[in-house]
Structure 1
Amino acid sequence: MKVVHLFPVMKFGGAPIVVLNLIKDDKNNIHIVISKKDDIELSKEFEKYSNKLYNIDTLSVSFESILQVISVLYREKPDIIHAHGKGGAFYTFIASFILLKPAKIIYTFHGFNNKFSGIKSFIYKLFEKSFSFFVDKYIAVSNTEKIKVIESNFYNKNKICVIPNGVSIEKKELSFDKLIVLKKYDYNIVTLSRISPQKDLETMLFSFKEIVAKSDKNVGLHILGGYIENDKEYAQKIYSICDSLNLKNNVEFWADTPFASSYLHYFDLYWSTALWEGLPTAIIEAMMQKVPVVATSCVGNIDLVNENTGVLTPMKDPTEISKIIIEFFQNNHYVSSVENAYNFVNKNFTAEVYTNNILGLYHEVLNENSTIR
């Protein structure tokens, strides 16, 4: 079986990590990757484990990239094209239209959300409706994402299944200079967050300002993640807010950090203020390393965090969030939730579980008359 995976960019995050874990685990099939190289270390991993890697800029829309993707799919003749996220879906749609659907198509949302308005929203809905004629199976990565997808009325609900993201953890040692940074603080909070509106780091910073003011501890907030070019303006806004709140002595921007999840065990608390998710791999990774989790009650987060596995907060409410986190500092009730969370994610969200589920789906969509390469 030959599978082509199409996602926008090789940056540490949900879709690339899930694909990487799959191609590491599955040695019996051919996995080809089409994506834009970005993070050097992650790109090396894909070069090492994929059968073929095509460095094509699918992060933005260009005629050159469209032609390159069409050429690759025509030449490789895959059994399955697996599109990850909107970027992967767009290029898969164009190529499928030109090549008259050259393979079975699976589309994983990785955070379903129509964030557009006006004419952009109309175009997006038109695209999703048109693409639906080519898609054989949709994958929602959480139960709440599936509900949201069905409620949108864009899709045939009989084509939608749930396969949660799966991750694996390899703990790494921090460099000496990073250890010095952590030792500056009594309590270290971490978030693995691309700097984008989805993660709502504005609320995080305003809430953290109140935490610093009211806590009797010297608290550090560590934001592990950079930004893509499309979010550059938002990133500058976040840096400006941090300066205006006089938080420079307590907030550490680590930028893009290779294998950032491997260092989560050094931190005291994992924090998410996301407005929506598919199924956040970072929260799974924190739970696997027995780091307590506080997260907003958004789609995706609530599939992982509840009263037994962590603490949920409202969205876009800095004052209430700060109260919850300060109370969290002062109580040890989270000890049992850490153990519960650890057992929960290791039972349901490992890379092995994901690999078994996704390979089962691949074989399901290939009908009996398909010639598997």
Structure 2
Amino acid sequence: MNKIKVGHVLNSIGGVDVSLRLILENLNVKTYDNFVIHGYKDTSKIYLDGDKKKVKDYKIPILRDISIINDIRSIVYTVKIFKLEKPDIVHAHSAKGGLIARIASIFYKVTILHTPQAYSYLSTSNSFKRWMILSIEKFLKNINSVLVASSNSELERGLQEVGYKKNKTELFSNSIHPIRNLENDVKYSVSWPDDYICTVGRPSYQKNIEMMIEVIKELRNDMPSIHLVLMGVGEYYPNLDKVERLIKEYNLENNITLVKWIERQEIFKIISKSKLYISTARYEGLPYSIIESLALSKACVVTDCDGNRDLVIDGYNGYIIKNNDIVEMSKKIHLLYTNENLRSEMEQSSKELFQKGYNLQENIGLIEEIYQKYARI
């Protein structure tokens, strides 16, 4: 039996990069042969398959943001690579990966499985820009495209707003392996107190870190020693200057620690030692940092957005807060931080939710079934 050849197209950063690597490292190597098309500068780390062998990769000028010249060049290169590799199926990750792969499929006919990992039209508050990006997505859905949503929220958005037909959609929730055998010591130089809350999120419109700083300012009124460890600063951070100005303006230098991008195992250790996990995101696909928090048995206080609401059940394993409701989020963090019995109950609930829905050992077969369903073999 011939292997199914799967091409992957993406700008490989953040959660999109994590998702691809987890898929590549867990697909059955006897059934699937993979190659990756990604950006020149997005990652220097090689891709590995389930046998720890290098996956073939091609670098093209694909960027996260819109760049007409680079996008056209990326499409041309992708067409050439498709014709050379002759994939049976293509999995496009992220909005930009979806754009490049689907237009390229006009010139090399192949089904494109598109996983947005949060639709890009959600990334702006400008109504015209949002309409324009959504219109592009509505057009692209008709080009050899099947939506492979990373969460139920993303699936519903694809059906209701982008306009996919139900028979052109699939669901493969982002998943990870259970997190075990963590070493006690954090390699990163720890400069924060033993009792802290944490989050992972680059300073950007999506993550709305400004709201988080307002929450810490509010919390400090009743909890002077409250401390937030904010990880993920340093890879893509368009709002970093604004965040740093707010921290200084509110005199929160002793209450917030910014941690540059570090290895996932180190992030796990920091999350595991925290009191709880928080998120103020405006939108998500299905955030790995919260999945990891569930796997590490952490209660969570998060904003009500796609992805977050899939992973946190209000009053069960944490709390869901309306976007920019600073006072309510502060109250819920204070409650969980100080009520050990309640926090313990929610921590157990988080672990149970992870085991039921987001364990990659159980879920990898779902993406394999999707690949088999749409492959040309």
% identity of equivalent residues = 25
Give the counterpart letter for 1:213 in structure 2.
Answer: N
- Give the drift of 1:335: 0.8
CA shift, 1:149, in A, is 2.2
Question: Match of 1:43, as an amino acid?
Answer: K
Deviations 1:195-242 (A, max 9, x none): 2111110100011111123115x222111113555x52x222112111
What secondary structure is seen at the aligned counterpart in 1 of 2:34? strand
TM-score normalised per structure 1: 0.88
Among 56, 72, 83, the residue aligned to 2:92: 83
Q: Unpaired segments of 5 or more residues in structure 2?
A: none
Superposition deviation, residue 363 in structure 1: 0.8
Cα 1:228–1:181 change in 2 (3 A) is closer
Select between 201-210 and 314-323 the one with higher mean Cα deviation. 314-323
Separation of aligned partners in 1, 2:186 and 2:41? 23
1:24 and 1:49 in contact (8 A); partners too: no
**Deviates most, 218-227 or 167-176:** 167-176
Q: Match for 1:36 among 36, 39, 42?
A: 39
Residue 12 (structure 1) shift: 3.5
CA contact (8 A) 1:23 1:50 kept: no
- Alignment map for 1:16-95 (pairs within 5 Å): 16-26=17-27, 27-28=29-30, 29-36=32-39, 43-46=45-48, 49-59=53-63, 60=65, 61=67, 62=70, 63-95=72-104
Which residue identity lines up with residue 351 of structure 1 in the other structure?
A: L
RMSD: 2.3
Question: Kindly tell me: are residues 358 and 211 of structure 1, through their superposed partners in 2, closer, same or farther at Cα, counting changes over 3 Å?
Answer: same
Query: Residues 80 and 301 from structure 1, CA distance in 2 versus in 1: closer, same or farther, beyond 3 angstroms?
Result: same
How far apart, CA to CA, are the structure 2 residues paired with 1:177 and 1:24? 26
| Structure 1 residue 44 displacement after superposition | 3.5
Q: Give the aligned residue type for 2:207.
A: K
Structure-1 residue corresponding to 2:247: 242
Matches within 5 A, 1:195-234: 195-215=203-223, 218-226=225-233, 231-232=237-238, 234=239
Please give the residue correspondences for 1:1-373 in structure 2 after superposition, counting only pairs within 5 Å.
1-9=4-12, 11-13=13-15, 15-26=16-27, 27-28=29-30, 29-36=32-39, 43-46=45-48, 49-59=53-63, 60=65, 61=67, 62=70, 63-97=72-106, 99-101=107-109, 103-112=110-119, 114-115=121-122, 116=124, 117=126, 119-168=128-177, 169=179, 171-172=182-183, 174-175=185-186, 178=189, 180-182=190-192, 185-215=193-223, 218-226=225-233, 231-232=237-238, 234-259=239-264, 260-263=266-269, 264-306=271-313, 307-332=315-340, 333-366=342-375, 370=376, 372=377
CA distance in 2, matches of 1:267, 1:118: 38
CA deviations over 1:92-126 (Å, ceiling 9, x no partner): 123112x142x221011211352354553444234
- Aligned 8 A contact 1:32 1:53 in 2: yes
Partners of 1:22 and 1:351 within 8 A in 2 = no
Alpha carbons of structure 1 residues 68 and 34: separation in structure 2 relative to 1, 3 Å: same
Give aligned pairs, total: 357
CA distance in 1, matches of 2:188, 2:240: 25
Task: Supply the distance in 1 between the matched residues of 2:234 and 2:128 (Cα, whole angstroms).
Answer: 26
User: 8 Å contact 1:261–1:285 — kept in the other structure?
Assistant: no
Q: Which is bigger in relative contact order (C-alpha 8 A, separation at least 6)?
A: 1
Question: Do the aligned partners of 1:84 and 1:108 also contact (CA within 8 Å) in 2?
Answer: yes
- Listed as ranges, the gaps of 5+ residues in structure 1 are none
Which is helix-richer, 1 or 2? 1
Give the Cα–Cα distance (whole angstroms) in 1 for the partners of residues 334 and 272 of structure 2. 21
Q: Is the 8 A contact 2:105 2:144 kept in 1?
A: no
